Each structure stands twice: as structure tokens, then as C-alpha cells.
Amino acid sequence: MHLAKFFHRAPGDDDRELMLIPGSEPMVIGIRMNRDDEPGSDQYLREEFPDIAEAAAAFRRHAAELVAHGYVETHHTRYTLRNLLPDPQAKPDWQKGLDELMMLALSGPLAEQAKQLDLLKGTPAEHEPLYLWHAARRDYAAGDDPAGAVRLAEQAHNEIRARRAAGQPHYAWSISENDLEERILELLCDAYLYADDADAALKTAEHLCRTAPNHEHILKRAEIVCGYFPERREEAFDDAYQWSRFGGYEDIMAFPGYAEYESRRKAGSARGWRWRPGTPASEADVSAAQQALRVRLPDDYRDFLLTRGETELLVRLPESSSELRFYGPDELATQHRSLLDFIAYSEEVLEEACAHFRKQYGVSLKHLVPIAEPSQLSRCLLLHVEPGTRYGQCFQWDHDGAWELEQPQPSLDAALNALTEGIERRDATQLAFFDL
């Protein structure tokens, strides 16, 4: 994380950036802007500190010194920015207040954070996702209002999603939108558990594992499964078997049944795959997806969405693991657009690509819809939805061969059978789709 403030002083030939970098070795860096010298020569300040509290105090002090020398803090926040011209605007006080709230969250006691939250009430700040996240953090840390912590965290997440959908900005200092949303969801997961809503906590943890997979999120999901969903405990055993070398899975591995699972997994006696419980779609969800795509989805895929929905096919072999994640119906149109944008970056190239797919495979490129992707791989399962003789066919696709289709199957059901039977036989062709 890089938290940057920008300062302008006329005529603008020596504007300044002041950057606070938290972490295990926090730093404050000062940069002279509008410079074309050697890389690094624009730094006029670089200080390292033993802890974030000292770094934040120095950051405030250097900012105040710039203001005392006639600089005005501007509204800019992008830390890679190197030129403020032509007409930088002053940063509003409520945004400066949110900056201070963020620094207090990194370095100050809860009482000071609470005071800053109260100071920002009644200003535009209190409607920002960043403010709502910190307000939720306060209630969660106080430990006396589970419902309030959940309500504020949900409000923060809903606000960031609503602004994104409407194309409206929000203020989060130099924190990226994805980073802020991830932090909000992490808090929301904990808040749900705090409020004894394990179902909502697990759904949130699973969402984080899909959208921002990392060790902490996978471990959190495994802990929730083990602690609250004994019928799904083998999913947590999957994660412990694969990731225990990174630490944190000791309690999960101590559960009755793990030793037997580990022995069975190493022996390779299981078929090697199973379905993770999913979230079935409603008829309304499927209808909305069809309307967005302007097609009727094949019957076997409609049935899949209505029975399994957003789910994962888990592949579990003795020495390796993978997941094939199936999108929810609300993601299909976005995934379809992303595929077309990747294959063809202009209308001219799109026309050429459409002709190639029609000639080579007999399908319409514009009617190939991504419906699933293997974890951590730029590949997907494509469903052809153009009415005609090839309606409902499935293909495997890889971004390294963007104009190629592989493993054609007459239907989704046939494609799933080929994958699962191939996993059971340890067929190299089918396993290659998962990079196994």
C-alpha cells in the first residue's frame, strides 16, 4: 500500500509528492515532481522507521512543513503521478479527514479512531465506503454490537458495488478499489461469525477465495467449514493437504478423519473429483442472463444453473489439486465481453476472427460464452449458443492459443462426462486442461 499526498505551489515547477508506505519496514518518501533526471534522483526525502506510528507522525510533520512553505495539498491520489499541471484543485477537508482516519487505523488507538469518525459525521465522508469500513471495524473491535458491525460492513460493500455499477467515483485515498473491497469483505466475514451467521461468513469467504485467492482467505474458508459445517469437512481437509506447508492448518489436521483422508488421498484410491456445494440460480437469474446475452441457453446448461449454479468441480489427485469454477448467470455477459475483447482488440480484428472461427470450427465467435475457468489459469470452458446445428456444443479454450478451440463436445453434459471420466482414468489430455 502506498498512501500519497500531493502539494502544489505556483508556478508549479517544484510540486511535491509525499508518500507513506506501511508494512514491516515503514517509510516516508518525498518526491520533487516535473523532473526528467535519472530514476530516483527526484527523491528529496527518504526516511525509514521502526514502526508505523513513528512513520505516520513524520508523514504528518512533513506535510505540515510543506503547507507552512506555501504549498497547497491537491485532490490527486494516484501515487505514480508525476505531474500535477495544468490546474490542480485543493483537496476538500472531508477527504483530508478520511486520510487522517486511515493513518489512525494504521497507527492510532481505537479511541482516537472513534474521535475521528465522530468528527466526520455530517460531512460527505460518512457516505464513503472507506468511512463505513472503518466504522464497521470500530464496532467489531468494540465487541458489543455484532449487528451494528455487520450492518456497517454490508453498507460499505453495497456502497462500493453501487458506485461501480453507476460509474460513480468514491474516495479511498490511494487505496485501489479492489484492495478496499477485499478488506471490506475480510471484515464482513469476521463480522458474520461474530454475529453467529456462519452461512453468510462461509459465502463471503468463498467469494474471497474466488475473487482474491490467497493463503489467508483459503485458510479462513477451511476454518469456517471445519468449525461449522461438519458435513463438508473434507473440503477443509483438501486445503490442509495442499497448503499445510505454509502453516496454520494444525487444528484442522488434528480433527478426527484427517489421517484417514490423507492416507486415502496419497494412495490415489478415490476417483479424483467431486462437486463443491454451489448456489443454484433462480429462473429469474437465468432469464436475466439470457436477456443480457440475447439468446436462449441450452437446456442442459439451464438445468445445470438451476441445480448447481455457481459452483466448483474439485479435482483432487495424490500430488496435485485444482478447481473448475462455474460462473453464476450474472457473470456470463461480462465474461463473454471479456473474451471478445481479448481475442479481438478492434472491430477490424473482430471481423477477421469471426471469419476464422466460422471457417475453422463452424461456430460463431460472438456466440461463444465462457461458463467456467480452472483456478489460477487463463483458460475456460466455452458454450456455443448460436441456434443451428452446433448449438450447445462445448469447447476448451486457452489464452495462449486465443484463436483455437480444443476438445469439442456435443453438449455441456458430454463435456462434463469427458472431464470427470478423464480425471478418473488420469487421462493426460483431460488433466492438461487443469495444468495437472
10 in a domain, yes or no?
yes
Q: Which three cell numbers stand for residue 265?
A: 488421498
35 in a domain, yes or no?
yes
In whole angstroms, what is the distance from residue 167 CA to residue 162 CA?
8
- Give the number of domains in the chain: 3
Q: State whether 298 and 403 are in the same domain.
A: yes
88 in a domain, yes or no?
no
CATH at 280: 3.40.1580.10
Mean pLDDT of 96-100: 97
Q: State whether 316 and 434 are in the same domain.
A: yes
SS3 15: coil
Place of cell 499526498: 5
Mean pLDDT of 34-39: 68
Q: State whether 307 and 434 are in the same domain.
A: yes
Q: State whether 298 and 175 are in the same domain.
A: no
CB atoms within 10 A of CB 54: 15
Of 141, 163, 198, the residue that ends a domain is: 198
Domain limits at 132? 93-198
Q: Please choose, from the candidates 190, 411, 384, 196, the residue with its C-alpha nearest in 3D space to the C-alpha of residue 296.
A: 384
Q: State whether 330 and 363 are in the same domain.
A: yes
CB 394 within 8 A of CB 411: yes
235 in a domain, yes or no?
no
203 in a domain, yes or no?
no
Instruction: Give 430's contacts (C-beta < 8 A, 6+ positions apart).
Output: 407, 418, 419, 421, 422, 423
Q: Please choose, from the candidates 192, 104, 113, the residue with its C-alpha nearest in 3D space to the C-alpha of residue 152.
A: 192
pLDDT over 70 percentage in the chain? 98
Overall size of the chain counted in residues: 436
Least confident of 3-7, 211-215, 330-334: 211-215
Residue 13 pLDDT: 86
Which phi-psi region, left, alpha or beta, contains residue 275 (left: φ > 0; alpha: ψ -120 to 50)?
A: beta
φ and ψ at residue 289, rounded to 5 degrees: -65, -40
Q: State whether 275 and 365 are in the same domain.
A: yes
266 in a domain, yes or no?
no
Q: State whether 97 and 63 are in the same domain.
A: no
In whole angstroms, what is the distance from residue 17 CA to residue 4 CA?
7
The model scores a pTM over 0.85: no
Residue 38 pLDDT: 65
Mean pLDDT of 175-192: 96
Residue 39 pLDDT: 61
Mean pLDDT of 342-368: 94
CB 97 within 8 A of CB 27: no
- In DSSP notation, 307-359 reads HT-EEEEEEE-SS-EEEEEEPPGGGHHHHHHHHHHHH-SSHHHHHHHHHHHHH
Q: State whether 349 and 420 are in the same domain.
A: yes
261 in a domain, yes or no?
no
Look up residue 389 and give its DSSP letter: T
212 in a domain, yes or no?
no
CA 83 and chain centroid, separation:
30
